[in-house]
Amino acid sequence: MQFQTNDLEQHWMPFTANREFKADPRIVVGGNGVYFTDHKGGKLIDGSSGLFCCPLGHGRTEIAEAVYQQLLENDYASPFMTSTPGTFELANRVARITPDPINHVFFVNSGSESIDTALKMVMAYHRARGEAQRTRFVSRERAYHGVNIGGVSLAGMVRNRETFTSVMPNVVVIRHTWSGDELFVRGQPEHGAELADDLARHCETYGGSTIAAVFVEPVAGSTGTLVPPKGYLERLRAICDEHGILLVFDEVITGFGRLGHAFASQAFDVTPDIMTMAKALTNGAQPMGAVAVRDEVYETITEAAPENAIEFFHGYTYSGHPAACAAGIAVQKIYEEENIFDKAAQLSSYFLDGLFSLRDLDCIKDIRGYGLMGGVELKAKGNPGAIGTQVQKDLFWNGMHVKFTGDTGIVAPPFISEKAHIDEMMDKLRSTLENL
Ligand X SMILES: Cc1ncc(COP(=O)(O)O)c(C=O)c1O
Positions in the binding site for ligand X (CB under 6 A): 110-112, 115, 144-146, 217, 221-222, 250, 252-253, 278
Which amino acid belongs to residue 377? E
Q: Which is nearer to ligand X, 116 or 366 (CB)?
A: 116
Q: Which is nearer to ligand X, 218 or 399 (CB)?
A: 218
Rounded distance between C-alpha atoms, residue 321 and residue 67, angstroms = 11
Q: Which is nearer to ligand X, 97 or 281 (CB)?
A: 281
CB 227 within 8 A of CB 187: yes
Strand partners, 45: 35, 400
CA neighbours closer than 13 Å in the CB half-sphere of residue 162? 3
Helix (H) or strand (E) holding 277: strand 274-277
Q: State how far the alpha carbon of 327 is from the alpha carbons of 39, 251, 412, in Å.
A: 27, 19, 22
CB of 20 to ligand X, least distance (A): 22
- What is residue 207's three-state secondary structure? coil
CB of 359 to ligand X, least distance (A): 25
Sign of CA dihedral 426, 431, 432, 435: positive
CB of 174 to ligand X, least distance (A): 16
CB 298 within 8 A of CB 51: no
The angle subtended at Cα 138 by Cα 128 and Cα 174, nearest 5°, is 160
CB 244 within 8 A of CB 24: no
CA neighbours closer than 13 Å in the CB half-sphere of residue 433? 26
CA neighbours closer than 13 Å in the CB half-sphere of residue 179? 13
- What is residue 281's three-state secondary structure? helix
- What is residue 233's three-state secondary structure? helix
CB of 26 to ligand X, least distance (A): 19
**Position with the least CB separation from ligand X:** 111
CB of 256 to ligand X, least distance (A): 13
Rounded distance between C-alpha atoms, residue 85 and residue 65, angstroms = 17
Q: Which is nearer to ligand X, 219 or 433 (CB)?
A: 219
Q: Which is nearer to ligand X, 280 or 376 (CB)?
A: 280
CB of 113 to ligand X, least distance (A): 7
CB of 372 to ligand X, least distance (A): 15
Q: Which is nearer to ligand X, 67 or 154 (CB)?
A: 154
Q: Which is nearer to ligand X, 222 or 225 (CB)?
A: 222
CB of 156 to ligand X, least distance (A): 11
Q: Which is nearer to ligand X, 139 or 348 (CB)?
A: 139
